[in-house]
């Protein structure tokens, strides 16, 4: 079994898509000879040419909008928004158009468009460049939002996304590109859309996260295990559709739940998870459902301040301890 | 003004066909306003009165496999493209028999059969989508053109710039067609758009071919569009067209349009494209009063049938609510 980086996983599924399907082309800022802001498309222009690797202008709305149009006309574009912060400039296309055209047209037009983008904090790039908006997009009917946290999930989820005929936000994490993991051994490996991964099984508490926070939750569970607290760790992997069944079943077993999320707490996606748990597992709860989330501040630049604003392994472990032990 | 001799390729039937389409759009809009007053159409209703020569002149130059993208003031283009007045009226009424089963409404008409790629109600958004459709045409090596309509208000949006630049830098086969009716919603473009009086020149900044045309003259619009289509189809890249026109009604039915000076309104009423074309057909000896009477009667009948069809059509079933959000799966959150 080979070990690859998250970045290599993204590159490999993009190459695979280009190799397998003539209708696939890539479009985004600086993805050409420069190789992409996160070096994901290095060497692509040389291999596939300018027709299929399109260096677009700095114009987020038309990057997504042209992807929507090309998808309506029968292609399968994979467009890149350099980071999710810049997706705000493309929100009209994502929210008003991509997500709604199928429904508004009475099903006449589907939009098989994959929008790759990069979320997350922790890279010392300040308040405007450290946001996590994927939960916000997950509130939009018509979108599919996936948040892979490991190289094998990148591969398995991307392949599944290519089989969809509707717009997808494929959200990579800025701090994960260099992380390593096992590449799937089977050539046609798939991760189903809307199926959470139970990373670890335990009877005492459910820790739930997505993207990098799933990894943080798993590390916290390792610490807790040494103290005799056994945690179920759930990586949601997909925010919309959401696998609330796996989450709720876990809580019914453990009776305690802690949601871990990088974005700010107020209006964050974890609030939705808490709601679903109380709707479907209220009678099973031995403690209020808790959250560890980002601090309610624009992300500070200074490193110690930034670290204080992002959920840490220790903070997650401490919150879990408190839930289980009552102190 | 062109002479009959300037359009030798058009038969009497063609010319009367243009007249009928313009008349149909006008009467369809009158009927839709009536239906609005009766409560059968809700929400926003933006009628096309006064701008008919644009849709009819431009769309009739397209091939069947060309694409159309437009804004929320879209009934005229839909009818000119050949969408049935019944299915459009039923859509306005939110009925199951509408072109989008009542899910889209007046501002969001679509027909995949006609490559009518949609009416878009977020001002400016459709320009980006049109560029993408043109990109697909170019990518496949085909020779369709994409005709994208929008208003003078849309020129102020950032998406106008993004789409114009992309289309120009990639040489995409798209025609950006501005229906310059001098107003956004209620504000005069003289107050909001610095280039309002030479709007086509904005395309100079993109090195794009640009044209201005009398949007109330159906034959002038057609003549220009035929030439532009040929260029764009031949791979010469995008073009920008500004048609000077005026909406004879308010922005939407809710708008009495009392912010407009009387002399301006009177001038443009005198430029109404339908009487103008009718007079031309008469002066050129192409059509008689009897011809017009016959067409007008058939239009009236068609509109009555469309309204009756809409009124008598069923509503969508409550169960249809969740249909069609996704292609391959039910949407989330369906109550059990
Ligand atoms: C982005 C956006 N802003 C505002 C509106 C509200 N609005 C709808 S139509 C309109 C005026 C548009 O004018 P123009 O583009 O000239 O088209 P016209 O109505 O004159 O045909 C406005 C402000 C909107 N739909 N979308
Ligand atoms: Mg206008």
Residue A225 and residue A157 share a domain? no
Residue A172 and residue A206 share a domain? no
Distance CA B43, CA A189 (A): 48
Q: How far is it between the farthest Cα atoms of chain B?
A: 68
Counting ligand 1 atoms within 8 A of each CB, the residue from B123, B183, B247 with the most, and so the one to mutate, is B123
Cβ neighbours for A52, distance < 8 A, ≥ 6 positions apart: A18, A24, A25, A26
Cβ neighbours for A31, distance < 8 A, ≥ 6 positions apart: A40, A41, A44, A53, A54, A55, A56, A80
Give a yes or no: residue A172 inside a domain.
yes
> Which 8-state DSSP code applies to residue B110?
-
Place of tokens 């009766």: B38
Q: What is the pLDDT of residue B105?
A: 98
Taking only the tens place, the pLDDT of each residue in A64-76 is: 999 999 999 999 9
**Residue A113 pLDDT > 90:** yes
Distance CA A245, CA A272 (A): 14
Pairwise CB contact (< 8 Å): B110 & A109 = yes
**Residue A211 pLDDT > 90:** yes
Report which of B108, B105, B59, B107 is spatially closest to residue B82, judged by C-alpha positions. Answer: B59
Residue A201 and residue A117 share a domain? no
pLDDT band for A327, please (50, 70, 90 cuts). low
The pTM of the full predicted model, rounded to 2 decimals, is 0.98
Residue A251 and residue A301 share a domain? yes
Q: Which two tokens stand for residue B197?
A: 């009086």
Q: What is the pLDDT of residue A187?
A: 83
Total number of domains constituting chain A: 2
Q: What is the CATH number of the domain that holds A105?
A: 3.40.50.970
Torsion of CA A224, A225, A230, A235, to 10 degrees: 70
pLDDT band for A263, please (50, 70, 90 cuts). very high
| CB-CB contact of B220 with B244 (8 Å) | no
> Which 8-state DSSP code applies to residue B9?
T
Cβ neighbours for B319, distance < 8 A, ≥ 6 positions apart: none
Q: H/E element holding B61?
A: none
Give a yes or no: residue A188 inside a domain.
no
Report which of B34, B242, B271 is spatially closest to residue B149, judged by C-alpha positions. Answer: B242
Instruction: Tell me how crowded residue A181 is: count the other CB atoms within 10 A of its CB.
Output: 19
Residue A17 and residue A70 share a domain? yes
Give a yes or no: residue A24 inside a domain.
yes
pLDDT-above-70 percentage for chain A: 99
Residue A201 and residue A133 share a domain? no
Q: What residue's CA is closest to ligand 1, atom 9?
A: B185
Strand partners, A132: none
Packed helices B273-283 and B218-233: angle between N→C axes, nearest 10 degrees: 100
> Is there an atom of ligand 1 within 6 Å of B251 CB?
yes
**Residue A220 pLDDT > 90:** yes
Q: What is the pLDDT of residue B334?
A: 87
Cβ neighbours for A69, distance < 8 A, ≥ 6 positions apart: B69, B117, B128, B129, B130, B131, B132, B133, B134, B135, B136
Which atom of ligand 1 is nearest the CA belonging to B157?
Answer: 1
> Nearest ligand to the C-alpha of residue B156?
1
In CATH, which superfamily holds the domain spanning B4-309? Thiamin diphosphate (ThDP)-binding fold, Pyr/PP domains (3.40.50.970)
Cβ neighbours for B246, distance < 8 A, ≥ 6 positions apart: B50, B51, B181, B182, B216, B268, B271
Cβ neighbours for A313, distance < 8 A, ≥ 6 positions apart: A216, A219, A220, A223
Instruction: Tell me how crowded residue B281 is: count the other CB atoms within 10 A of its CB.
Output: 20
pLDDT-above-90 percentage for chain A: 98
Give one word for B171, left, alpha or beta, with left for phi > 0 and alpha for psi -120 to 50. Answer: left
Cβ neighbours for A23, distance < 8 A, ≥ 6 positions apart: A74, A75, A76
| CB-CB contact of B211 with B164 (8 Å) | no
Query: A interface toward B at CB cutoff 8 Å?
Result: 25, 51, 54, 56-57, 59, 61-62, 64-75, 77, 92-93, 96-97, 101-110, 141-142, 144, 164-166, 194, 240-242
Residue A52 and residue A144 share a domain? yes
Strand partners, A206: A232, A257
Taking only the tens place, the pLDDT of each residue in B74-94 is: 999 999 999 999 999 999 999
From chain A, the residues in CB contact with B125 under 8 A are 61, 65, 92-93, 96-97
Q: What is the mean pLDDT of chain A?
A: 97
Give a yes or no: residue A190 inside a domain.
no
Please give the interface size between A and B, counted as residue pairs whose CB atoms are below 8 Å apart. Answer: 154
Q: What is the pLDDT of residue B335?
A: 84
Residue A201 and residue A130 share a domain? no
Packed helices B85-92 and B12-37: angle between N→C axes, nearest 10 degrees: 20
**Residue A31 pLDDT > 70:** yes
Counting ligand 1 atoms within 8 A of each CB, the residue from B48, B73, B153 with the most, and so the one to mutate, is B153
Strand partners, B176: B148, B240
Least Cα separation, residue B308 to chain A (angstroms): 22
The residues of A annotated with a catalytic role in the active site are 60, 129
From chain B, the residues in CB contact with A68 under 8 A are 128-129, 132
Residue A211 and residue A150 share a domain? no
Distance CA A159, CA A185 (A): 14
Taking only the tens place, the pLDDT of each residue in A268-294 is: 999 999 999 999 999 999 999 999 999
Query: What is the total residue count of chain A?
Result: 327
Q: What residue's CA is closest to ligand 1, atom 4?
A: B123
Taking only the tens place, the pLDDT of each residue in A239-255 is: 999 999 999 999 999 99
**Residue that terminates a domain, selected from A182, A209, A242:** A182
Residue A219 and residue A175 share a domain? no
pLDDT band for A87, please (50, 70, 90 cuts). very high
Place of tokens 């006609």: B114
Domain span at A288: 197-325
Residue A138 and residue A65 share a domain? yes
Which atom of ligand 1 is nearest the CA belonging to B152?
Answer: 16
Sequential pLDDT tens for chain B (336 residues): 899 999 999 999 999 999 999 999 999 999 999 999 999 999 999 999 999 999 999 999 999 999 999 999 999 999 999 999 999 999 999 999 999 999 999 999 999 999 999 999 999 999 999 999 999 999 999 999 999 999 999 999 999 999 999 999 999 999 999 999 999 999 999 999 999 999 999 999 999 999 999 999 999 999 999 999 999 999 999 999 999 999 999 999 999 999 999 999 999 999 999 999 999 999 999 999 999 999 999 999 999 999 999 999 999 999 999 999 999 999 988 887
Give a yes or no: residue A187 inside a domain.
no
Residue A124 and residue A220 share a domain? no
Kindly report the backbone phi and psi dihedral angles of residue B262, in degrees, each rounded to the nearest multiple of 5, phi listed first. Answer: -60, -40
Q: What is the CATH number of the domain that holds A309?
A: 3.40.50.920
Distance CA B231, CA B233 (A): 5
Q: Which two tokens stand for residue A30?
A: 């600086």
Pairwise CB contact (< 8 Å): A65 & B139 = no
């Amino acid at each position: 079994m080979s070990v690859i980086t998250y970045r290599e996983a993204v590159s490999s599924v993009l190459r695979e898509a280009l190799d397998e399907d003539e209708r696939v082309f890539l479009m985004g800022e600086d993805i050409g000879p420069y190789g992409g802001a996160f070096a994901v498309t290095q060497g692509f222009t040389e291999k596939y040419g300018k027709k299929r690797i399109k260096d677009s202008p700095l114009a987020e709305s038309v990057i997504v909008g042209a992807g929507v149009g090309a998808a309506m006309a029968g292609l399968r574009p994979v467009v890149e928004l350099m980071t999710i912060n810049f997706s705000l400039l493309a929100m009209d296309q994502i929210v008003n158009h991509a997500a709604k055209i199928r429904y508004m047209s009475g099903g006449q037009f589907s939009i098989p468009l994959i929008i790759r983008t990069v979320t997350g904090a922790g890279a010392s790039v300040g308040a405007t460049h450290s946001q996590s908006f994927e939960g916000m997009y997950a509130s939009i009917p018509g979108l599919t939002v996936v948040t892979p946290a490991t190289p094998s999930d990148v591969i398995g989820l991307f392949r599944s996304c290519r089989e969809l005929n509707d717009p997808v936000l494929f959200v990579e994490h800025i701090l994960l590109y260099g992380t390593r993991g096992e590449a799937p051994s089977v050539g046609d490996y798939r991760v189903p859309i809307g199926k959470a991964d139970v990373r670890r099984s335990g009877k005492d508490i459910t820790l739930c996260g997505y993207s990098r926070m799933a990894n943080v939750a798993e590390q916290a569970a390792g610490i807790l295990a040494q103290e005799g607290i056994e945690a179920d760790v759930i990586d949601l992997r997909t925010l919309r559709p959401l696998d609330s069944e796996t989450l709720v079943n876990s809580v019914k077993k453990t009776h305690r739940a802690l949601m871990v999320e990088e974005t700010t707490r107020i209006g964050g996606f974890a609030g939705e998870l808490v709601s679903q748990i109380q709707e479907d597992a209220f009678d099973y709860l031995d403690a209020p459902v808790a959250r560890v989330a980002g601090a309610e501040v624009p992300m500070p630049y200074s490193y110690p301040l930034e670290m204080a604003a992002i959920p840490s392994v220790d903070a997650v472990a401490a919150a879990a301890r408190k839930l289980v032990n009552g102190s | 003004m062109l002479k009959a001799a300037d359009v030798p390729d058009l038969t009497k039937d063609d010319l009367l066909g243009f007249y009928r389409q313009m008349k149909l759009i006008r009467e369809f809009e009158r009927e839709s306003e009536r239906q609005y007053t009766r409560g059968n159409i809700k929400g926003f209703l933006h009628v096309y009165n006064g701008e008919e020569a644009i849709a009819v002149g431009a769309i009739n130059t397209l091939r069947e496999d060309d694409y159309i993208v437009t804004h929320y003031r879209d009934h005229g283009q839909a009818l000119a493209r050949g969408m049935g007045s019944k299915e459009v009226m039923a859509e306005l009424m939110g009925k199951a028999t509408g072109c989008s089963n009542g899910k889209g409404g007046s501002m969001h008409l679509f027909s995949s059969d006609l490559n009518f790629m949609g009416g878009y109600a977020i001002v400016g958004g459709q320009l980006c989508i049109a560029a993408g459709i043109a990109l697909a045409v170019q990518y496949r090596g085909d020779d369709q053109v994409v005709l994208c309509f929008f208003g003078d208000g849309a020129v102020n949006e950032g998406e106008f710039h993004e789409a114009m630049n992309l289309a120009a830098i990639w040489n995409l086969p798209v025609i950006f067609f501005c229906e310059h009716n001098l107003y956004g919603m209620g504000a005069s473009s003289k107050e909001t758009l610095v280039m309002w009086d030479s709007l086509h020149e904005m395309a100079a900044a993109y090195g794009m071919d640009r044209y201005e045309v009398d949007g109330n003259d159906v034959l002038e619009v057609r003549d220009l569009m035929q030439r532009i289509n040929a260029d764009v189809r031949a791979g010469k890249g995008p073009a920008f067209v500004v048609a000077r026109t005026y909406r004879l009604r308010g922005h939407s039915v809710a708008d009495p349009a009392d912010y407009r000076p009387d002399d301006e309104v009177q001038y443009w009423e005198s430029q109404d494209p339908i009487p103008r074309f009718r007079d031309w057909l008469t002066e050129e000896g192409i059509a008689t009063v009897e011809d017009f009477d016959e067409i007008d009667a058939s239009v009236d009948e068609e509109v009555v049938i469309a309204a009756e069809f809409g009124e008598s059509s069923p509503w969508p079933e409550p169960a249809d609510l969740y249909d069609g959000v996704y292609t391959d799966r039910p949407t989330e959150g369906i109550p059990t």
